[in-house]
Amino acid sequence: MRIPGRSPIRLGPLLAVMLLSAGCAELPELPTAAPTHPPYEATPADYQAVRDLLDRRATAALQGDETGFLATVDPRVEKLLDQQRTIFDNLQQLPMTSLSYRVKDVQNDPDEVRNDGVLFAPKVVEVAQMEQAHRTPVSHPTDMTFVRHQDRWVVGRDRAAPVTRYSRPWFGGPVSVAVGRSVAVVIEKDGPTGADDLLERVKKARTVIKADLKAVQDAEKGKVPLLVDATNNGKPPGDTFDDEHGAAAVTYRVDAVGPGKTIWKPFATIVVKDNPVASNRLAIDDRTLRHELSHVYGPILVPTWVKEGLAEHLSRCEANICDEDEDREELLAHERALPDDDEWGEEGAIDYAISHAAVSWLIEEHGGLAKFIEFCNDFFSHRPQGSTDYNDGTDEALRASYGITEKELVAGAWDWFERLPSG
């Protein structure tokens, strides 16, 4: 669920400057003279001491007690203290309703820290909930190393856990926050727009997209909580933002804490994550914002070409072109087929363009948006029994809803390309 940047994303020097200015959570390299950390086997008392320490840390954060929060950190490392002050300040801006830490009786390999002392690195999971943004608490793995200082454990190093994705907008550089009904917006403090401005744009775009998609049959009832994260903090799924073909934004669900009661694991929030180095980042591009919100309220049990094509269509590009005219000749010469889910994204913007053309042709030439939503809602019933690939049901679904074949849809999509302006 992502939209590629329309202009190349410039990484390298730009990314380096942004990360440095954001005050990211990584600490500088260790000094040449390595401190001494003798091997240590933790005892049950050590685990309990860290639990007590983190209980005090969470309480201080929720009560706005900076002194108490920093008392849980090694006072000998100024860089660490600066990092933790930023995290504390971010937590004060966010509408936190709960914060806690779960310490498991599992010992990881500790990181090196900048001062002498025994090291201890139990497995720690952070559990948090934000008003309006989370319907239930969410959990995040951490990478904390504790050091014994003056006969007590303190945080000696605090890094982002090496996981495929996490949503912790408070962990990293300074942020600004705005909160509305069922939505929290977080943006870097010195971002290209203010949090209040972005919140108003999110609310406006949400109203438009929800109206467009009011007929979608959503298995989830009630309000859908949103966390719009336009910061350098956190990690989106996979390699979403990793190279010059990276997405401008990505939308994904975050599971609720605890096991689900059905095969559908309940979700706590939907995160719309901005790519701060994209030229068309949603913080400043309403089209990208509308695209991502289409994923929040749009159909789920359909192939990727349906989801992404609809999101492109509803992003309301000028003249409904979305810059595909820039690749017109390449598109016309491309293999005439819908992109499969298994290969989705390998050709970047081309996959989005084909999907956009197919969906737009159906909507514009065959009954409008309402009929297309009926097609989406009915799609699941046409997937062959035993198949896990929704693409396998495309031809049958098209015949049932539109009386056309997949081959005819592909021909229509390329006819749509033919009508694009050539310059």
| SS3 sequence of the chain | CEEECCCCCCCCHHHHHHHHHHCCCCCCCCCCCCCCCCCCCCCHHHHHHHHHHHHHHHHHHHHCCHHHHHCCECCCCHHHHHHHHHHHHHHHHCCEEEEEEEEEEEECCCCCCCCCCCEECEEEEEEEEECCCCCCCEEEEEEEEEEEECCEEEEEEEEECCCCCECCCCCCCCEEEEEECCEEEEEECCCCCCHHHHHHHHHHHHHHHHHHCCCCCCCCCCCCCEEEEECCCCECCCCCCCCCCCEEEEEEEEECCCCCCCCCCCEEEEEEEECCCCCCCCCCCHHHHHHHHHHHHCCCCCCHHHHHHHHHHHCCCHHHCCCHHHHHHHHHHCCCCCCCHHHCCCCCHHHHHHHHHHHHHHHHHCCHHHHHHHHHHHHHHHCCCCCCCHHHHHHHHHHHHHCCCHHHHHHHHHHHHHCCCCC
- Residue pair 355/308 in contact (Cβ under 8 Å)? The answer is yes
Q: Do the Cβ atoms of 5 and 279 come closer than 8 Å?
A: yes
Percent of the chain with pLDDT over 90: 55
Q: Which amino acid is at 395?
A: D
Contacts of 349 (CB under 8 A, 6+ apart): 4, 6, 324, 327
What pLDDT was estimated at residue 334? Answer: 86
Can you give the pLDDT at residue 386?
79
Tell me: pLDDT of 152 over 80: yes
**Average pLDDT of the chain?**
84
**pLDDT tops 70 at residue 316:** yes
For 264-280, what is the mean pLDDT? Answer: 83
Report the candidate in 291, 423, 410 with the shortest Cα–Cα distance to residue 362.
Answer: 410
Please determine, for residue 45, whether its predicted confidence score (pLDDT) is greater than 50. yes
Give me the pLDDT at residue 20, please.
Answer: 39
Provide the edge-to-edge strand list for the sheet that holds 267-274: 2-4, 247-255, 267-274, 226-230, 183-188, 175-180
User: What number is the average pLDDT over the span 201-208?
Assistant: 95
Query: Which residues, 6 or more positions from 305, have their beta carbon under 8 angstroms from its beta carbon?
Result: 338, 339, 344, 351, 354, 355, 358, 359, 391
Per-residue model confidence (pLDDT) at position 368: 94
Whether 320 shows a pLDDT value over 60: the answer reads no
321 touches 364 (CB < 8 A) = no
| 200 and 181 Cβ atoms separated by less than 8 Å | no
pLDDT reading at 37 higher than 50: yes
Give the pLDDT score at 217.
46
Q: Given this model, what pLDDT does residue 30 score?
A: 47
Over the stretch 104-143, which tens digit does the pLDDT of each residue have? 998 888 888 877 789 999 999 999 999 999 999 999 999 9
What pLDDT score was predicted for residue 398? 95
pLDDT in the model for residue 15: 39
- For the whole model, what pTM was predicted? 0.84
- Min mean pLDDT across 162-166, 170-174, 375-379 is at 162-166
Q: How sure is the predictor about 324, in pLDDT bands with cuts at 50, 70 and 90?
A: low
pLDDT above 80: residue 284: yes
Phi, psi of 175 (to 5 degrees): -130, 165
Higher pLDDT, 388 or 172: 172
Q: What is the pLDDT of residue 39?
A: 78
In this prediction, residue 35 carries a pLDDT of 65
CATH 3.10.450.50 fits domain 38-130+138-160: yes
pLDDT tens, 229-261? 999 888 877 766 666 566 788 999 988 886 555
> pLDDT at position 411, please?
96
Least-confidence region, from 178-192, 195-209, 306-320: 306-320
